[in-house]
Structure 1
Amino acid sequence: MLGEAAVATVPEARAGEADGDGHMIVCGGGPLAHRLAVQLAALYERRVVVLVPSLTEDHGPRIAELARERPGSVRAVQAPRLDVAALELAGVGGAVALALTSGDDHANLQVALNARQLNPDLRLVVRVFNRRLGNRIEQALDRAVLARNPELTRAELEASTTVLSTSATAAPALVAAAVSGRSQAVQVDGRLLRATVRRAGEPPSGQELATVAAVGPLDEPGTGSSLLPAPERVGTERVGTEQVGTEQVGTDPVGAERVVLELLGDASTTARRRRLPGLPGLPFASLFSARLRWALAGLVALLALLAGATVAFTGQSPAHSAWLTVLDVLGIADPTDEGGRSGKVLQILTAVSGMLLMPLLIALVLEALGTFRTATALRRPPRGLADHVVLVGLGRLGSRVLEQLWDLDVPVVCVEADPAAVGVARARAFGVPVVIGDATQDGVLEAAKVGRAQALLALSSDDSTNFEVALAGRESVPRLRAVLRLFDDDFAENVYLTLRDSYPEAQTRSRSVAYLAAPAFASAMMGRQVIGALAVGREVLVIAAVEVARSPRLRGVTVADAHRPGLWRVLAVDLAPPEFRSPDLAQPRPGGPELLWSPPPGRVLVEGDRVVVAATARGLGLLGSRPDRPAREHHQGR
């Protein structure tokens, strides 16, 4: 069979046969491992060894087929256990990078520790859902490398550890696809970089950096033109002995829409003020039902009427009359013979009103106690809820999406079949209504008020379930905006085309989480700091920090000449000296930001520079290759 030697099991593999020095290792048998191997081999032209738990389950057959198609660049090794022996037989001692793509945080961290012991210079990319634990492990592993190499600074560290979460990487794209008018944003050096759709004539809300794409047909950004189009040249300026064209962004024809990158202010000022956990801002309307509120308002109006009648018949002051009325209602005042027959009638009516007050007060107290008692329990969707998002699936990805929707103050109703799912506790803390049940069963989506929803997010762990949920939602509301999480890339594209053709007036988005997350993992394996990923239509735009010394295509050219339409664009240049640069541009620097955004087009990029680029997956691959070696084209499933 063609390429049969590229597929082996652990007992058959040998370290010397796996790959030579400089290869990369991917551990996992899921869609992320498959997509990552494709990008490393096709875009970055690196030799890859894939340690697969089984070549016959999950995406193992696809990885084996990839190894047969690319026998010189991809090798699939079946390793049921990722122990030290498996890592050694994959050639971890001569590898430059290792990616751990399993969904088990504990297993990934254990393999990462073993790999660091076997190869202290290894670059690690670890998939971890628990961000707090991941950050601590990342810092601990990097400190261990620095302790062994005291002559290195943190900026010079080659054997870095990058902790990424597929759910956190994919969540912004899913939220932006589901909620109309919402944009995606990533934090860069303490400021927010946002991708948003801009209509012709609409003023920017921040500093506009670049046009990412034009909005194509069927409301699908990026389908009408390539990503990162070339800016319009509107003039020239002299830099030294050269004349360099000056750029102008935002010059689209009348009526056109485009996706632009905007730079906003301090990221800390845009944070949403959170409520106390378990007490999701209980207002008066949530404490008491509408009937009790109307009854209380009617009783107050009756007391006011009685107090006014007392003033009219007795001639006493309003304050004194109101005081007497309250005393009569509470049964405190003594009977009076003053005021004649009218005064006695008023006193009797007031006493009767007091009899009505007692059961009303008891009802108010009981209802308030019941509301506080159920504040930490799962809420049911309110009766008048409308224009909300129905989120199906509260696993790891659904939990991340719920966080972002809650931060954006978007009303949400969740549907989850497992009461012990990861996101159920988070929904309870946020006070988000949750319907426990199978979304494919009759009545479950109706209980979530899908008929009045603005969008449906199907994020369960099963492709067929998500497809069935989307079809059920479209049967109830044909114009419902539907966003599906699908593991299989080809299936995701077929589902998108089918739903789009079946319901041409509705918006449909099918997202493969592996497709959204793979560029960030691949870039981290290549030693580039991935700041964030933005979904533009059905493509992924990666915001990354790139050292010019490691990118021959950027070295010695101007900012204007460095731009490649459809591949990458330089957004900013780091002005800090190399020895004082922050190792993580996703976090704010103690001394304040030092990035020069929208650098002059004539500025020449030199070897010591570090730049922030917006690039496609293929563009990042080209940035790491030699200028005389073109990148190979390959199919990108979506």
Structure 2
Amino acid sequence: MVTELVSSGERVIALVNPASRHRGRIGELGAKVIDAPVISESLLRQAGINAADDGTPSAARALVLLDTDDVHNVHTALTARDMDRDLRIIMQMVNPRLGSQLNSLLGDCVVINGPSLAAPAFVSDALDDDELTWMELGGRMVVVGEADLIREPHLTVLADATSSATPVLLPEPDDEEQPDPTSAEPDDPEQAGRASAGTVEAEQAGSTAAETAEGDDEPKVDIVLGTGIRPVWYGRRVRPAGWAKAVRDVLDSRVRKIAALMAMLIAIGTAIVHFFGGIDWWRALYLAAGVVTTAGIDDNRFSDAPPWVKVSAVVVQLTGIVLMALLTAVVVDSLIGARLSRIIGGVRGRPRNHVVVCGLGTVGARVLEILVDRGVAVVGVDQDDDAPGVQVAHRLKVPVVVGDSSNEETLRLAGVQHCQAMLAITDGDITNLESAMVAQGLNPDARITMRMFDHDLADRVERQLGLGNSRSVSMLVAPAVAAAVGDKRRQVLVPAGRRVLLLTEVVVEADSHAEGRTLGQLREAGGLRVLARQTSHGPWDWQPTQTGLVKAGDRLAVVGTRAGLARLLMATRAQRRTMASERIGL
């Protein structure tokens, strides 16, 4: 995160726990380091959050909170908000529900959910699939792709390539074809000038090469925006072991041997009682079973029996007491040694062509959800049966193997030898590295992706060991945090044939042309579409009324062509007086 901020020209003061192994590295990257075992109000003032009562702003213009504990982040955010009501706060939250509530309570606050931002990259590596584009837009995770891949209902159609050879961008629901907005001339000369100037900025933000991408084949399906993926079965679903496996695990070989010995004693006792006691077979079986299982015996029946028969009955009863104690101990040991999640969640049968996810933390839990949405057969592995992803796996009926993912036997139980991909995304670099090495030995053809915190180690592993790709959650999340610090637009380019659409968020500035206009007036057929609107840091509205008036401070989630976005940027920017008007005092 510090690397991303410093490289973007920001001056960074880092509050770091002295025990952190990253402390020295953060200082080398160009940040000023302040040791902070516990973040307090005095340390925040030392770092530059020092707004005065007379309205003087703080020296710091943004606070980034990256603690892994949501409670600590909330406490620090509330403290900073009391110190400066206008300070921009960017905070990472593991609990997205709590984050959405804080977004409206803390004012100028941006909540980042690392697992939601990073998980799609791991899924793309596992499936070797780049047909889908994920992004956070309008306060929610959305996905762009072909219509047959996106789950209905679709949020909007971005491009229609079914009615003509050339894709129609942002088609209206009732119109079969829309004019090309890049070729239309605006009626207002001033608007034309603004569009021309804005196009330069949009070109810098976008990719010119993407719009003129090479390729002979045009897409023949709609490109849509949605919130989920249609199930597309990549392999036969792997089923949890269930109670049948649970019973087999509890009734292991020890239980079976003890039960066999008890059955043999009952059979011998039944024969003795029948032949020497003169008792019918069913009554003899009942008496023998009572002796062996220590349930007691009818002594009156044996009062006249020979002494050796009485002694044999006592010996059998004592043996039964020992066997019952052993049986109880073995069953209890089986239940404790194989926890319920391991017993019920194990793998049934021999899975093939599935994805093995090692590490079911917050990132692993989100990866499981996306894979299940895609209809991919998946097996989870984690040594902690209380991990967040284990509970998610049980809810999604995904089998889980509880054990060390670096252990060969654990990976064999997960079916790594027949999987199509393995994701090693635990919290330990060494564990992920060992898991990848074991998986490669069991299945050289599997696609392997590792989560690596140490960037230097990840680079050397990729170059020298050839174990597959490596990803860092912090590297995947850092650009979003840096953009939030600078209040910069985060945007995604969506190719549509030889052209491109851009999805981004735009803030309406005070004294701009857009202020006071309706959302319908900002919309351009085939050039720009407003998807969602946020007013005064409140919740996002994904069904905004087209007659609603645009106010200063509104944030708009939009999709448009480069020219359409350029016109919107100029319309939402505050008007600036010309040099001539300044000279005459206007």
Alignment of 1:61 with 2:61, yes or no, is no
Q: Paired residue for 1:84?
A: 41
1:172 aligns with 2:120: yes
2:106 pairs with 141, 145, 148, which one? Answer: 141
415 and 376 in structure 1: CA distance in 2 versus 1, 3 angstrom threshold: closer
Letter of the 1:102 counterpart: D
| Matching residue of 2:345 | 379
1:393-472 to structure 2, matched below 5 A, reads 393-472=359-438
Q: 1:119 to 1:66 in 2, by over 3 A?
A: same
The residue matched to 1:419 in structure 2 has which SS?
A: coil
Question: Quick check: 1:549–1:607 contact (8 Å CA) kept in 2?
Answer: no
Q: Which structure 2 residues correspond to residues 143-222 of structure 1 after superposition, within 5 A?
A: 160-181=108-129, 183-186=132-135, 188=137, 192-194=142-144, 207-208=158-159
The structure-2 alpha-carbon separation of the partners of 1:393 and 1:113, relative to structure 1 and needing over 3 Å to count, comes to same
The residue aligned with 1:47 is: 11
Pick the aligned partner of 2:542 from 571, 588, 591.
588
Q: Report Cα offsets for 1:75-128 as digits up to 9, x if no partner.
A: 111111101121111121212110000101111111111111111111111111
Distance apart, 1:425 and its partner CA: 1.6
Could you tell me how far apart the structure 2 residues matched to 1:432 and 1:195 are? 26
CA distance in 2, matches of 1:287, 1:590: 50
**Secondary structure, counterpart of 1:428 in structure 2:** helix
Query: SS state of the match for residue 62, structure 1?
Result: helix
Letter in 2 for 1:105: D
Q: Tell me if the contact between 2:532 and 2:542 (Cα under 8 Å) persists in the aligned partners.
A: no
Q: Could you tell me how far apart the structure 1 residues matched to 2:34 and 2:351 are?
A: 53
Aligned pair in 2 of structure 1 residues 587, 252: CA closer, same or farther (>3 Å)? farther
Partner in structure 2 of residue 252 of structure 1: 214
- Offset from partner CA, 1:314-345 (integer Å, 9 cap, x none): xxxxxxxxxxxxxxxxxxxxxxxxxxxxxxxx
1:374-413 CA deviation, whole Å, 9 max, x = no partner? 8996422121421111000111211121122122221111
- The structural deviation recorded for 1:239 is 5.3
Total equivalences in the alignment? 396
Contact (CA 8 Å) 1:389, 1:453: kept in 2 or not? yes
CA contact (8 A) 1:389 1:411 kept: yes
What is the deviation of 1:237?
6.2
Contact 1:415/1:436 (<8 A) preserved: yes
Residue by residue over 1:482-501, the C-alpha shift from the partner in whole angstroms, topping out at 9 and shown as x without a partner, is: 111111223223322334xx
Q: Give how far 1:572 is off.
A: 7.3
Query: Structure 1 unaligned runs (5+)?
Result: 1-35, 68-73, 143-159, 197-204, 210-232, 273-279, 290-373, 535-541, 551-570, 611-638
Aligned mates of 1:251, 1:387 — CA distance in 2: 34
SS at match of 1:381: coil
Aligned letter for 1:164? I
**How has the CA–CA distance of structure 1 residues 37 and 265 changed in structure 2, closer, same or farther, with 3 Å as cutoff?**
closer
Q: Hey, what's the Cα distance between the residues in 2 that align with 1:261 and 1:83?
A: 56
Structure 1 CA distance for aligned equivalents of residues 431 and 439 of structure 2:
12
Equivalent residue for 1:111, pick from 76, 86, 92: 76
Q: Which amino acid aligns with 2:35?
A: Q
Matched, 1:519 2:479: yes
SS of 1:438's equivalent in the other structure is coil
Displacement of 1:481: 0.3
Structure-1-length-normalised TM-score: 0.53
Is contact 1:458-1:466 (8 Å) kept?
A: yes
| Contact preservation (8 Å) 1:53, 1:79 | yes
- Contact kept in structure 2, 1:393 and 1:460, CA below 8 Å: yes
C-alpha distance 80-386 of structure 1, shift in aligned 2 (>3 A): same
Corresponding residue for residue 509 of structure 1: 469
Report sequence identity in percent: 28
Superposition TM-score, scaled by structure 2 size? 0.57
- What is the Cα deviation at residue 37 of structure 1? 2.0
Q: Given the superposition, is the C-alpha separation of residues 208 and 577 from structure 1 closer, same or farther in structure 2, using an over 3 Å criterion?
A: closer
Any idea what the Cα deviations from partners look like across 1:493-516, whole Å, max 9, x if unmatched?
3322334xx47xxxx321111100
Is the CA contact (8 Å cut-off) linking 1:188 and 1:587 kept in structure 2?
A: no
Counterparts of 2:37 and 2:354, CA distance in 1: 44
Letter in 2 for 1:479: D
SS of 2:106's equivalent in the other structure is helix
What SS does structure 1 have at the residue aligned with 2:563?
coil
Q: Distance in 1 between matches of 2:400 and 2:117?
A: 24
Change (3 A) 1:79 1:584: same
Tell me which amino acid in the other structure corresponds to 1:186.
Answer: M
Give the Cα separation in 2 of the matches to 1:405 and 1:164. 22
AA aligned opposite 2:132: S
Distance apart, 1:175 and its partner CA:
0.9
**Offset from partner CA, 1:278-313 (integer Å, 9 cap, x none):** xx9999x98999xxxxxxxxxxxxxxxxxxxxxxxx
For 2:371 and 2:392, how far apart are their aligned partners in 1?
12
- From 438, 453, 457, the counterpart of 1:491: 457
What residue identity is the alignment partner of 2:41? V
Give the aligned partner of residue 601 of structure 1. 563
CA contact 1:195–1:261 (8 Å) conserved in 2: no
Distance 1:188-1:130 versus aligned 2 partners, 3 A rule: closer
8 Å contact kept, 2:14–2:32: yes
Task: Give, in whole Å, the separation in 1 of the partners of 2:444 and 2:374.
Answer: 26
Judging changes above 3 Å, is the alpha-carbon distance between structure 1 residues 529 and 164 closer, same or farther for their aligned structure 2 residues? farther
Cα RMSD after superposing both structures? 4.7
Determine helix, strand or coil for the equivalent of 2:423. Answer: strand
C-alpha spacing 1:498/1:549, structure 2 compared with 1 (3 Å): farther
**Residues 99-108 or 171-180, more deviating:** 171-180
* Distance in 1, Cα, partners of 2:439 & 2:342: 29
Distance 2:425 2:532 in 1: 44
- Displacement of 1:586 after TM fit? 6.9
Q: 1:548 to 1:185 in 2, by over 3 A?
A: same
Following TM superposition, by how much is the alpha carbon of 1:591 offset from its aligned partner in structure 2, in angstroms? 3.0
CA distance in 2, matches of 1:464, 1:135: 35
SS in 2 for 1:92: coil
Measured at CA, do residues 434 and 288 of structure 1 come closer, stay the same or move farther in structure 2, by a change above 3 Å? closer
What is the aligned partner in structure 2 of residue 624 from structure 1?
Answer: none
Aligned residue in 2 for 1:337: none
Is 1:478 equivalent to 2:432 in the alignment?
A: no
Q: List gaps (5 residues or longer) in structure 2.
A: 51-57, 147-155, 161-179, 232-236, 246-339, 495-501, 511-525, 549-555, 574-586
Kept after mapping to 2: 8 A contact 1:194/1:262: no
Q: In the alignment, is the contact (CA less than 8 A) between 2:143 and 2:227 conserved in 1?
A: no
Match of 1:614 in 2: none
Deviation of residue 607 (structure 1)? 4.0
Alpha-carbon distance change, 597 to 425 in structure 1, aligned in 2, over 3 angstroms: closer
